[in-house]
Structure 1
Amino acid sequence: MVARHIKTAGLVANTATSQKVSDIVKGVIDDIRTNGDKAVRTYSEKFDKWSPSSFKLTESEIQECISKVPAQTIADIKEAQKNVRTFAEAQRASIKDFEIEIQPGVFLGQRNNPISTAGAYIPGGRYPLLASAHMTILTAKVAGVKHVIACTPPILGQIPNATVAAAHFAGADEIFLLGGTQAIAAMALGTESIKKVDFIAGPGNAFVAEAKRQLFGEIGIDLLAGPTEVLIVADEFADPFTVATDLLSQAEHGPDSPPILITTSEGVGQQTIKFVDEILKNMPTAELAGTSWRDYGEVVIVDSLDEAYELADVYSSEHVQILTQSPREALEKMRNYGSLFLGEKTCVSYGDKCIGTNHVLPTRKAGRYTGGLWVGKYLKTQTYQEVVDEKASGEIGRLCGRCSRAENFEGHARSGDLRAHKYLQDSYSWIDEANK
């Protein structure tokens, strides 16, 4: 493959900064593990300047928040949640319990049981990401999770009313105005006022992601997410203005969100660069989007679409948008991505906000081995087995004995021997000696 950059990224990850984040997060987690609510309040005051009498919103407080949200926003939340619910219900219906009889009298099966309790983190740093409520809480409820705790931070000392409304309509059982590492640690460890959960989902900043990483194992998590990523594959027929607009739509997430274009047309590449520069002149979020474009943006020229798909699989981006004449070709050509957005009529922002698929997606090349958040993440696929036929149990016992002794597991072998003895009358010296 011959690929040529006409714009390259200017920065690489700062490992020193990552270590500093890790150290801060560990200190917060250790303190909350020891001191519970007292430590939670200390860090909320320190990081968010927020220390109400109770971090948990009462039902009347929730209703007061909802009353302050414009009617159109409420209607839009409900419509977006309807889309998310419809897709999540289709996912749940695709996951089947089953039981098979692999031989006479031997039954194997699986059940998909929901996690009991889950925590949903809804970011609120630069933006009130109320759509994350749809993705985390509603998906958990469709999966059958009985108790979902939602945490979202105050924004500049104010309650994010629309986020609270979204969390309520999504089905949150408890809503806490609490953010950052302290929210993740409180849900994962449990405190005097916050129940310990079994699983935490939701995007967040570097501190939230690091807290989830450090606590993984004590609780389950959805993903180890990094900054938002977008990659566009474009042919010579793509509209450069659309390409530029859609790249910047994701670059505004933060100053380190990589926007990447792979195209078979140098003309499309050059025109896209020009349009990006023009759009940034009057874009309200230009400071963030422009920084991401300058430091992490790339434009790569390749000779064919096959090469474009091959290179895109190497990047394994979170969002991959296909702006070609035959966009569905990518479904067959690509394997590594968080989610595909096919054709000019489908933009990544649809997935972020309202179309119905989940926006919690793998980053940092994790699309090579996992997909994003979905109903199945909230389910435990658990197996069971039952042997009701004596002859079958005896024969499996013989097999178990041989397999176990091949691995020097004598105790395992004897469990198999016992069934062969009981049901097939096989003779074993260890049984005779034990019963003297």
Structure 2
Amino acid sequence: MVVKLKQRNNASVGAASKVDTTAVVRGVIGDIRANGDQAVRSYSEKFDKWSPASFKISQEEIQQIISTVPQQIIDDIKQVQDNVRTFALAQRASIKDFELEIRPGVHLGQKNVPINSVGAYIPGGRYPLLASAHMTILTAKCAGVPHVTACTPPIAGKIPANTIAAMYLAGADDIFVLGGVQAVASMAIGTETMKKVDFIAGPGNAFVAEAKRQLFGEEIGIDLPAGPTEILIVGDEHADPFILATDLLSQAEHGPDSPAVLITNSKTVGEKTIEEVDRLLKILPTADIASVSWDRLGEVVLVENLDEAYKVADEYAYEHVQILTENPREALEKMSNYGALFLGEKTCVSYGDKCIGTNHVLPTRGAARYTGGLWVGKYLKTVTYQEVTSAQESGQLGLLCGRSARAENFEGHARSGDARAHQYLGEKFDWI
């Protein structure tokens, strides 16, 4: 049994105006591809009212900008980055190179090689998301990436000093104050003043996400498809409606398109949570955004028991899944579709977003069914190598290769095998 105590306001969702994002992004990319820096400057002026002499921040400018940041913020950035670094390095240590001798003289191996150059996009706009610098730049450096180019937009025509400090302390090699599609396209294509990268990571608005999608494959690799922030909470009859409401709104304030869902086996908890959300929205400074998100995309779902709750939660496959139950670790065994789990009342999604050390770039819009979030492994290429040092084994592989290739009508492949069988075993072939 699944009952919705609060449903999405589909009429409101449908009424929202839509821009042809795909066409806009395609046009910007095409212009930058053709006209380079000239087009970049034009779009920066148009979208961000930003046209400095150079979008790249020099080392001297970086130091001057950082000098304006309060020491407490610098200290907090360093502490958060230490958490992120500790976890990312542990992830890297878990990824092993190996070599295996499957038969005498037949060696197969695996290596994990860092991507040579990465672009990190650090969003700005409504909020200066300096935490994204930790997640994208620092994680890339922990993977061993030699060069990271980082871009962040100006905020209200000004350089976001706190974000620049986070980017620098995370290890960015080049920092540009440049936002939106023009930043992503510049990194992916390369311009007169920006080197082309091989991979782009980082969250962003719908235009940034669409730019990454359009450039993926031919130009660059990307971390994962990105969409609006999502939160889903599984709460039982013991959950505190005040905590539930607070945590739901913590993500609803991201934007008017951020879903917030509670799944509970308690009608009382569900109803009281709705009441608490309504009460808190009257005093939340970001209620103008969070209230729209809650009205349009907020849901409270009543189920019979927690097993059904976990099943329904897996169907949503949200990026952030918070478990506020008497035995939260049960979800580790009973759920599989999520970007990150947050277990117990002492843990919240905001910790993951801002400071605890796990990565906050996570799969949205159902992508958690097939991928996890950004991590050290995304910046590594797992490559293989092989070497045969035994003449006998090479000849035997040649015979096997010849038979296998001819079963697929690949005569050229078969003859590569024949050549080894002839050379090392003395086998006779009509074509040799």
Give the TM-score band, short-chain normalised: over 0.9
- 1:78 is aligned to 78
Aligned counterparts of 1:350 and 1:106: Cα–Cα separation in 2: 49
SS of the equivalent of 2:204 reads coil
- 1:227 is aligned to 228
- 1:357 is aligned to 358
What displacement does 1:11 show?
Answer: 2.9
- 2:289 is aligned to 288
Aligned counterparts of 2:15 and 2:269: Cα–Cα separation in 1: 35
What displacement does 1:15 show?
Answer: 11
Q: How does 1:413-424 map to 2 (within 5 A)?
A: 413-424=414-425
Q: How does 1:29-428 map to 2 (within 5 A)?
A: 29-217=29-217, 218-428=219-429
Aligned counterparts of 1:179 and 1:14: Cα–Cα separation in 2: 29
- 1:434 is aligned to none
Structure 2 unmatched ranges of 5 or more: none
Matched letter for residue 6 of structure 1: L
What displacement does 1:18 show?
Answer: 6.1
Aligned counterparts of 1:425 and 1:6: Cα–Cα separation in 2: 78
What displacement does 1:65 show?
Answer: 1.1
Q: 1:117-169, CA deviations, whole angstroms, 9 ceiling, x for partnerless residues?
A: 00000000100000000000000000000000000000000110000000000
Aligned counterparts of 1:243 and 1:146: Cα–Cα separation in 2: 43
TM-score, normalized by length of structure 1? 0.97
What displacement does 1:24 show?
Answer: 0.3
Matched letter for residue 242 of structure 2: F
Matched letter for residue 165 of structure 2: A
Aligned counterparts of 1:39 and 1:344: Cα–Cα separation in 2: 49
Change in CA separation of 1:17 and 1:31 when aligned onto 2, cut-off 3 Å: farther
Aligned counterparts of 2:180 and 2:137: Cα–Cα separation in 1: 18
Aligned counterparts of 2:68 and 2:278: Cα–Cα separation in 1: 38
Matched letter for residue 383 of structure 2: Q
Aligned counterparts of 2:424 and 2:175: Cα–Cα separation in 1: 57
Aligned counterparts of 1:112 and 1:16: Cα–Cα separation in 2: 45
What displacement does 1:19 show?
Answer: 6.5
Matched letter for residue 111 of structure 1: K
Aligned counterparts of 2:323 and 2:125: Cα–Cα separation in 1: 30
TM-score, normalized by length of structure 2? 0.98
Two-structure CA RMSD over aligned residues (Å): 1.1
SS of the equivalent of 1:299 reads strand
Matched letter for residue 119 of structure 1: G
Matched letter for residue 144 of structure 1: G
Moved over 2 A (4+): 11-19
Structure 1 unmatched ranges of 5 or more: 432-436
Q: How does 1:17-28 map to 2 (within 5 A)?
A: 20-28=20-28
Query: Alignment length, in residue pairs?
Result: 430
Aligned counterparts of 2:48 and 2:157: Cα–Cα separation in 1: 7
- 2:10 is aligned to 11
SS of the equivalent of 1:429 reads coil
Change in CA separation of 1:219 and 1:17 when aligned onto 2, cut-off 3 Å: farther
Matched letter for residue 4 of structure 2: H
Matched letter for residue 256 of structure 1: D
The sequence identity of aligned pairs, in percent, is 71
Matched letter for residue 285 of structure 2: P
Aligned counterparts of 1:94 and 1:395: Cα–Cα separation in 2: 36
Q: 1:6-59, CA deviations, whole angstroms, 9 ceiling, x for partnerless residues?
A: 100113866996670110000000000000000000000000000000000011
Aligned counterparts of 1:364 and 1:374: Cα–Cα separation in 2: 19
